[in-house]
C-alpha cells in the first residue's frame, strides 16, 4: 500500500480546483480556506498576512488521525480515529465546537489499512524527528475502487482539550489524562 500526498502548488498557474489554502504555520485548522477558482484564490492570498500553502483538495471519503507518543525512547501509535463533521472541511469550528464533529474509534477501515496507518505514523514521527507526542492526519479519498490514503500533516502540538483526539485515543489505551501529560513531559 502506498501513502500519497496532495499536490502542492508553488506557482499560481495550471491549478486544478478546488484547492485548500492554509497557513504554513499555526494549527487547529485556523485560517484554512477552500478556493474553487482563480478569483477566490487570489482574494484569499491577498487578504492573508501569513505564508500560505496551496494544495489539491482531496474529496474525502474519510478523515483519519493517529496519535503517536514516545515513552522512554519507544514510539507507538495509539490508534486510528475516523472523524465525521458537518462542514465542507474539518476546520477550527468543527474541531472545537461540541456537536460539530464526532469521532469513531477505532476507525471503520480494513484491518490491513488500520495496521498500515499505525506503522507509517510511527515511521513519519521518527523520520521527522518528533519527540514526545504528535498527531498525524490523513484523508482516504472517495474513490471506491481502492483505498488511497493521503498524508496531510503532522501536528507536533496536538490539542489536549476534553474533546481533543489525543486524550481520547490515550483513554482507549487505558492511559488517563494525567498519565498522558506525564508521558509528554518525561519525553520532552
Which cell goes with 141? 479519498
Query: What does CATH list as the number for 60-187?
Result: 3.30.470.20
> What pLDDT, on a 0 to 100 scale, did the predictor assign at position 161?
80
Residue 135 · residue 155 · CB < 8 Å: yes
CA dihedral for 158, 100, 163, 92, sign (positive or negative)? positive
The radius of gyration of the chain from alpha carbons, rounded to an integer in Å, stands at: 17
Pairwise pLDDT comparison (39 vs 92), residue with the higher score: 39
The pLDDT confidence band at residue 69, using thresholds 50, 70 and 90, is: very high
**HEC letters along 95-132:** HHCCCCEEEECCCCCCHHHHHHHHHHHHHHHHHHCCCC
- Each residue's pLDDT tens digit, 134-156: 999 999 987 766 678 999 999 98
Is a pLDDT exceeding 80 seen at residue 177?
A: yes
Q: What percent of the chain has pLDDT over 90?
A: 50
Domain ranges of the chain: 3-56, 60-187
Question: Residue holding cell 471506491?
Answer: 144
Pairwise pLDDT comparison (78 vs 156), residue with the higher score: 78
Which region among 5-9, 34-38, 47-51, 65-69 has the lowest average model confidence (pLDDT)?
Answer: 47-51
> What pLDDT, on a 0 to 100 scale, did the predictor assign at position 27?
64
Distances (CA, A) of 50 to 89, 95, 136, 141: 20, 21, 23, 28
> What pLDDT, on a 0 to 100 scale, did the predictor assign at position 2?
75
> What pLDDT, on a 0 to 100 scale, did the predictor assign at position 146?
67
The pLDDT confidence band at residue 131, using thresholds 50, 70 and 90, is: very high
Query: What does CATH list as the number for 3-56?
Result: 3.30.1490.20
Is a pLDDT exceeding 70 seen at residue 12?
A: yes
Helix 177-187 vs helix 165-172: crossing angle, to nearest 10: 110
Which cell goes with 54? 496551496
Is a pLDDT exceeding 80 seen at residue 29?
A: no
The whole-number average pLDDT for the span 124-139 is 94
> What pLDDT, on a 0 to 100 scale, did the predictor assign at position 41?
94
Q: What are phi and psi of 57, to 5 degrees?
A: -90, 120
Of the candidates 94, 42, 21, 39, the one whose C-alpha atom is nearest the C-alpha of residue 63 is: 94
CB count within 10 Å of CB 56 equals 17
Amino acid at each position: 500500500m502506498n501513502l500519497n500526498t496532495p499536490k502542492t502548488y508553488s506557482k499560481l498557474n495550471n491549478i486544478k480546483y478546488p484547492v485548500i489554502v492554509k497557513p504554513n504555520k499555526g494549527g487547529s485548522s485556523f485560517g484554512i480556506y477552500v478556493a474553487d477558482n482563480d478569483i477566490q484564490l487570489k482574494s484569499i492570498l491577498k487578504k492573508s498576512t501569513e505564508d500560505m500553502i496551496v494544495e489539491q483538495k482531496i474529496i474525502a471519503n474519510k478523515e483519519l488521525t493517529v496519535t503517536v507518543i514516545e515513552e522512554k525512547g519507544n514510539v507507538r501509535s495509539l490508534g486510528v480515529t475516523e472523524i465525521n463533521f458537518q462542514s465542507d472541511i474539518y476546520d477550527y469550528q468543527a474541531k472545537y465546537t461540541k456537536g460539530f464533529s464526532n469521532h469513531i474509534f477505532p476507525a471503520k477501515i480494513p484491518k490491513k489499512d488500520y495496521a498500515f496507518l499505525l506503522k507509517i505514523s510511527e515511521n513519519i514521527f521518527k523520520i521527522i524527528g518528533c519527540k514526545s507526542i504528535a498527531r498525524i492526519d490523513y484523508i482516504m479519498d472517495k474513490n471506491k475502487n481502492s483505498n488511497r490514503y493521503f498524508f496531510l500533516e503532522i501536528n507536533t502540538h496536538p490539542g489536549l482539550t476534553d474533546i481533543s483526539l489525543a486524550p481520547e485515543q490515550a483513554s482507549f489505551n487505558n492511559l488517563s489524562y494525567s498519565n498522558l501529560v506525564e508521558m509528554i513531559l518525561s519525553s520532552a
